[in-house]
Structure 1
Amino acid sequence: MPKILITNDDSFEAKGLEVLIDAVKDLGEVYIVAPAHHKSACSHSLTITKPLRFVEIEKNFYKLDDGTPADCVYLSMDKLFKNDKPDIVLSGINHGANMGEDVNYSGTAAGAFEGAIHGIPSIAFSQVLKSYDTPPTEVNWENAKKIAKDLTEKVLKRKINIPHRQILNVNIPNTKEIKGYKVTKLGYRLYGFDAHKHLNPRGEEYYWIGLHPLKFKEEDNSDFNAIKNGFISITPLKLDITAYESLKELQTSIND
């Protein structure tokens, strides 16, 4: 029976995690290690300045106090899989999109990337919302559940091959009628600046980073474009972020 490791960045209590567990529970032996607290935008950080503790919620279900998604996958290799690695790592289902440059900030994507580092086929799932404050009750989780099960099953049955040190980054539109799958590139996210300055009761200044509207450059075959048109976006991503197209020019410039 395949071993499935699940993590996320919205905490062990997140609705998306519950949906993902339910989606794949019949496909193999499921293990869950999720952060004890919300870890959105933590990127691929590992905690090296303090100890971390597994807290058992129920059989094969742990929260990591106070870990990141990457911590969860990394430490699971010793805690749960000393002899055999899991057959697949699933991260999500994130409450919100992870498209374009957002994958560089994403704890959801990082959970999958940590799986790829350990040579395990990995998928990051994100549920796109109409707005950031869309509550879980207004999300069409049934679509997300079906998609997560379908893609996981196809990878486990090797109908879909995820190359070594790559992941699949999946974004699901929040609509009743989904038109199908589209394999896409990362889009060009348009960022602003949203930081709020405040004073605490002692008169000390502090900042709170806010949220940006989901704006993007119009491009064919991008993840944003697929979602805008009602398709599920599947973007293959890799750990090697070398800008190969710049190698020759840079070498020439250095030698001149």
Structure 2
Amino acid sequence: MMKILLTNDDGYDAVGLKALIKALEPIAKVMVVAPAKNKSACGHSLTLDRPLRLISIDDEYYKIDDATPTDCIYLSLGHLFKNGYRPDLVISGINIGANMGEDITYSGTASAAMEAVIHGVPAIAISQVCKDMCRSIVVDWDFELACKVVVDLVNKIENGYFPLAERKFLNVNIPPLKAKDCNGVKITKAGYRVYGNDAHRHTNPRGEEYYWIGLHPLSWRASIDSSCDFEAIKNGYVSISPIMLDMTSHSDIKDLENWLNN
């Protein structure tokens, strides 16, 4: 059986993480290392200004106080997997909320996958898109489609090989649909996210000003061939995007050299 390391930026007790554990335990050996509390939108950050405590919750189930998902992968690979041994795969999720377009750079979910591939471990980030920007209080999240997609991907990896080269990971987004209503899977590119500003100014009882960053609607710039992650989700498809860590704009190197030399 494959050895799979799981994390989730929604926290060690997140409903999406628990659904993922349940789906994978019949087909894999699972270890969980996740933040003790929600760390959404923390990006690819490591904690350098304070010590971190790895706390055992159950057999092969850990939380780390005030850690980021990147911390969780970093410490897991350095201290829970020893003598050169590595998990076969890291899966980050199931996140509540989309991680598409440039939101990938904010995402704690995607960042855990980034950290895994930096250390040479194949990785998948998986997110459940919400219908209403996740404003509703939902008691029973339906992760059936997300779990099916993850299990199918794990089976493909176990029976063959991870489809991407080093320092690349799969970013998966699940449409807010029942499994029976999904139109299939599309391989997509990361879309062009359109951002606004949703910072709310408030005053506390002592008259001190503070701000609270809100939620942005999923707005994007349409692609010419309708091949981006946003469009796949809109059309009822699962979106799977290959993401690379090399952020160099290779097509601009020659022009930049010419610009500097003239």
TM-score band, normalised by shorter chain:
over 0.9
Correspondence for 1:197 = 201
Is residue 155–residue 162 contact of structure 1 (8 Å, CA) maintained in 2?
Answer: no
Q: Distance in 2 between matches of 1:140 and 1:28?
A: 22
Letter in 2 for 1:148: V
8 A contact 1:139–1:174 mirrored in 2: no
Q: Which runs of 5+ in 1 are unaligned?
A: none
Normalised by the length of structure 2, the TM-score is 0.95
Report the secondary structure of 1:145's partner residue: helix
- Map of 2:34 onto structure 1: 34
Deviation at 1:138, TM superposition (A): 5.4
Residue 240 of structure 2 corresponds to which residue in structure 1? 234
The DSSP-based 3-state class of the residue aligned with 1:73 is: helix
- 1:153-195: CA deviation from partner (whole Å, max 9, x where unpaired): 2123225512111000000001121111100001111110010
2:63 aligns with 63
CA distance in 1, matches of 2:63, 2:214: 27
* Larger deviation, residues 197-206 vs 174-183: 197-206
The aligned counterpart of 1:110 is 111
Secondary structure of the corresponding residue to residue 62 of structure 1: strand
Alpha-carbon distance in structure 2 between the residues aligned to 1:77 and 1:113: 13
The one-character-per-residue Cα deviations of 1:108-132 (angstroms, maximum 9, x if unpaired) are 0001111000001100000011012
Question: Is structure 2 residue 139 aligned with structure 1 residue 166?
Answer: no
Unpaired segments ≥5 residues, structure 2: none
Distance 1:160 1:2 in 2: 13
Contact kept? 2:122, 2:162, Cα under 8 Å: no
Query: 1:174-253 maps to which residues of 2 (within 5 A)?
Result: 174-176=176-178, 177-219=181-223, 220-253=226-259
Q: Which residue of 2 aligns with 1:18?
A: 18
Q: Share of identical aligned residues, percent? A: 53
Alpha-carbon distance, 1:27 to partner = 2.2
Distance change (3 Å), C-alpha of 1:215 and 1:13: same
Distance in 1, Cα, partners of 2:195 & 2:156: 35
Alpha-carbon separation, structure 1, partners of 2:139 and 2:222: 30
- 8 Å contact 2:99–2:173 — kept in the other structure? yes
User: Alpha carbons of 1:136 and 1:23: their partners in 2 closer, same or farther (altered >3 Å)?
Assistant: farther
**Is the CA contact 1:36–1:65 (under 8 Å) kept in the aligned structure 2?**
yes
What is the CA–CA distance in structure 2 between the aligned matches of 1:236 and 1:71, rounded to whole Å? 23
Distance 1:133 1:249 in 2: 45
Q: Distance in 1 between matches of 2:193 and 2:21?
A: 30
**TM-align CA RMSD:** 1.2
**3-state DSSP of counterpart to 2:221:** coil
Could you tell me which of 145, 160, 167 is aligned with 2:147?
Answer: 145
Distance 1:125 1:187 in 2: 16
TM-score by length of 1: 0.97
How far apart in 2 are the matches of 1:233 and 1:32?
A: 25
In structure 2, distance between residues paired with 1:29 and 1:135: 32
Q: Which residue of 2 aligns with 1:130?
A: 131
Structure 1 residue 90: deviation in Å? 0.3
User: Would you identify which runs of 4 or more consecutive aligned residues in structure 1 move more than 3 Å?
Assistant: 134-139
Deviation at 1:79, TM superposition (A): 2.2
Distance 1:155 1:4, change over 3 A: same
Counterparts of 2:248 and 2:40 in 1: how far apart (Å)? 25
Change (3 A) 1:170 1:39: same
Q: Distance in 1 between matches of 2:140 and 2:26?
A: 26
Match of 2:97 in 1: 96
CA contact (8 A) 2:6 2:33 kept: yes
Deviates more, 1:154-163 or 1:70-79: 154-163
3-state SS of 1:189 partner: strand
